[in-house]
Amino acid sequence: MRLLINLLFSLLLTISSPAHLVQQLFVDFSADESSWMAEIRFDAGMALPEMRVDKEAMQPKRQWLIDQTPQQHTELRKQAELYLRQAFQFYWVTESSENLIHYRVHFPEWDTSPPEFSKPFTDLGFAYFNVQCSGPIPESGGALEVRVREGDTPDFAFGYERIGSDRIVTAYPGKSLTLWTAEATPPSAQQSFLSFLDYGYRHVIPEGWDHVLFIAALCFLSFSWRPLLTQSLIFTLGHTITLALSISNTIPAIAPASMVWIEMLIAATIVYVALENLFTQKLKAHRLLTIFVFGLIHGLGFASVLGETIRASGSITMPLIAANLGVEVGQITVITFILVTLYWAKEKSYFPTIGKIASASIALVGTYWMVERLVGCI
């Protein structure tokens, strides 16, 4: 038992501040019988190597991009192309072969002088410019695939609005994705649903350590399936409501400066639940209301990740259901892992001690995150 406790405590203390915000670039995809084009709405800050390295750097504003000199614009285009060519590759794949496509890169906003940069998704005024990657479609049968480099590379969300489809599929680091087939068909509705399902799941595992710790904290007060599933569903209901309100613009977009406060509150919810475990012997009715409210708070962080992707899809209902279903499956995965891992100790006399130590460890990590983010707010 001591070894288990030491491992748990060491793991929690070595977890870095969670990657609650997943980097993502949006891509408008179109194709015909002879060619394809992927137009990327490129975050100007990602064109700067020093800004990519600095995770605390603020995303530049559109006015900053407009005020750059011609020489600086040239360097931005150069670095953006270099980055994209390193980030992903396109292949034409048949049953017997796969061929790398040497695609062309074009920056349409620089077709005018001075350049007219695209407006941001929201009124927060962030700096974006468009990058068009295009290439041929061979006459032979096959499929166009995109392969994203593994590592610290953003997700690429491909939308098909230009060819009359509201579907969105996402290519993740280290994986490949079929974008188009020789039969001139976009991804199916099922593929789009599974893509959002996967995106929601990744918001918990492996990207959302804060989400994981919140669910883990729930497990150490009511160590059985039924109450844990109830709490998980109530938590999902809370952040589903917030996400829906954000997507529909019922609540305004949250500025990055304010998001730091939201992330601090998310850490505080982890601390609260973990500490409650230390002073409460059994699950009480008020905890369900608390979890629902905390779900609303976590949903604000979720909205900052997935909100723009769902808006870009042109359809709200299916992506909202699929993404939150993915989150719920991720939460159930965490619950299952903890229940199975500690099942052997469930009937032991020292099991409550394990729960107290685990809860205290989670509270310590949450406190560290809360202080870290609070410092960032000041």
The per-residue pLDDT for range 287-320, each reduced to its tens digit, is: 889 999 998 888 887 776 666 666 655 567 777 8
Same domain for 229 and 177, yes or no, is no
Compute the distance between CA of residue 235 and CA of residue 328 in angstroms, rounded to an integer: 9
Domain membership flag for residue 213: yes
Domain membership flag for residue 37: yes
Decide if pLDDT at 7 tops 70: no
Q: Which of 114-118, 185-189, 276-280 has the lowest mean pLDDT?
A: 185-189
Q: Which of 165-179, 249-263, 333-347 has the lowest mean pLDDT?
A: 249-263
Same domain for 45 and 93, yes or no, is yes
Name the domain count of the chain.
2
Domain membership flag for residue 115: yes
Same domain for 250 and 366, yes or no, is yes
Is 302 in contact with 211 (CB distance < 8 Å)?
Answer: no
Nearest to 131, CA basis, from 26, 35, 61, 23: 26
Domain membership flag for residue 193: no
Is 159 in contact with 37 (CB distance < 8 Å)?
Answer: no
261, containing H or E segment = helix 256-279
Q: Which of 170-174, 238-242, 306-310, 359-363 has the lowest mean pLDDT?
A: 306-310
Give the single-character DSSP code of 92. Answer: E
| Mean pLDDT, rounded, for 246-267 | 72
Compute the distance between CA of residue 375 and CA of residue 193 in angstroms, rounded to an integer: 39
Q: How many CB atoms lie within 10 A of CB 353?
A: 13
Domain membership flag for residue 246: yes
Decide if pLDDT at 77 tops 90: yes
Decide if pLDDT at 130 tops 50: yes
Q: For the chain, give the percent of residues with pLDDT over 70.
A: 80
Please identify, among 156, 187, 218, the residue that sits at the C-terminal boundary of a domain: 187
Give pLDDT, residue 16. Answer: 46
Q: What is the pLDDT of residues 334-349, one digit of tens each?
A: 999 988 888 887 777 7
Same domain for 174 and 237, yes or no, is no
Q: What is the pLDDT of residues 135-161, one digit of tens each?
A: 988 877 788 899 999 887 888 888 877
Q: What does residue 255 show for φ and ψ, rounded to 5 degrees?
A: -70, 155
Same domain for 166 and 41, yes or no, is yes
Is 343 in contact with 224 (CB distance < 8 Å)?
Answer: no
Q: CA-based Rg of the chain, rounded to a whole angstrom?
A: 23
CA–CA distances in Å: residue 288 to residues 218, 234, 293: 11, 7, 9
Domain membership flag for residue 199: no
- Name 82's Cβ contacts closer than 8 Å, sequence gap at least 6: none
Same domain for 159 and 282, yes or no, is no
Q: Which of 81-85, 124-128, 335-339 has the lowest mean pLDDT?
A: 124-128
Same domain for 132 and 222, yes or no, is no
Same domain for 6 and 138, yes or no, is no
Supply 3's token pair.
């070894």
Same domain for 180 and 237, yes or no, is no
Domain membership flag for residue 111: yes
Decide if pLDDT at 5 tops 60: no
56 confidence band (pLDDT: 50, 70, 90): low
Compute the distance between CA of residue 278 and CA of residue 364 in angstroms, rounded to an integer: 13
Give pLDDT, residue 256. Answer: 56
Give the global pTM: 0.65
Give pLDDT, residue 142. Answer: 84
Give pLDDT, residue 185. Answer: 62
Decide if pLDDT at 377 tops 60: no
Give pLDDT, residue 168. Answer: 78
- Measured at the CA of 66, the angle between CA 64 and CA 69, to 5 degrees, comes to 95
Domain membership flag for residue 195: no
Compute the distance between CA of residue 372 and CA of residue 17 in angstroms, rounded to an integer: 8
120 confidence band (pLDDT: 50, 70, 90): low
Same domain for 235 and 353, yes or no, is yes
CA–CA distances in Å: residue 135 to residues 38, 88, 104, 230, 289: 9, 14, 6, 50, 54
The domain of 134 spans: 24-187
Please identify, among 187, 217, 245, the residue that sits at the C-terminal boundary of a domain: 187
Give pLDDT, residue 312. Answer: 59
Decide if pLDDT at 237 tops 80: yes
Please identify, among 154, 187, 220, the residue that sits at the C-terminal boundary of a domain: 187
**Which 3 state secondary structure label does DSSP give 1?**
coil
Same domain for 278 and 240, yes or no, is yes
Decide if pLDDT at 51 tops 80: no
Give pLDDT, residue 8. Answer: 47
- Name 374's Cβ contacts closer than 8 Å, sequence gap at least 6: 264
Give whichever of 13-17, 50-54, 116-120, 359-363 has the largest mean pLDDT: 359-363
Same domain for 137 and 250, yes or no, is no
Supply 143's token pair.
């499929």
Q: How many CB atoms lie within 10 A of CB 21?
A: 15
Is 186 in contact with 166 (CB distance < 8 Å)?
Answer: no
Decide if pLDDT at 212 tops 70: yes
165 confidence band (pLDDT: 50, 70, 90): low
